[in-house]
Copies of this chain bind each other. A is one copy, B any other.
Amino acid sequence: MSSATPEFGPPPVDAIDAAALDRLFRTARTPSAWSPAPVAEETIRALYDLVKLGPTSGNCSPGRFVFLTTRDSRERLRPALSAGNVERTMSAAVTVIVAQDPMFFDNLPRLYPAEEARSWFAADHGLAEETAFRNATLQGGYLILAARALGLDAWPMSGFDSLKVDEIFLAGSGWRSNFLVNLGYADGAPATPRGPRLTFDEACMLL
Contacts and interface: CB of A to CB of B under 8 A. Distances in A.
A181 B13 CA distance: 19
Interface in A108-135: 110-112, 114, 131, 133-134
Given A53-B28, A110-B196, A151-B15, A48 B206 contact: no
B149 A61 contact: no
A149 to B, nearest CB: 5
A188 interface: no
Contacts of A13: 150-151
- Looking at chain A's contact residues, is the secondary structure mostly helix, strand, loop, or mixed? mixed
A194 B53 CA distance: 9
Interface of A: 1, 10-17, 19-21, 23-26, 28, 30, 35, 37-38, 40-41, 44-45, 48-50, 52-55, 57, 59, 61, 63-70, 73, 107, 110-112, 114, 131, 133-134, 137-142, 144-146, 149-151, 154, 156-158, 169, 173, 178-179, 185, 192, 194-198, 200, 203-207
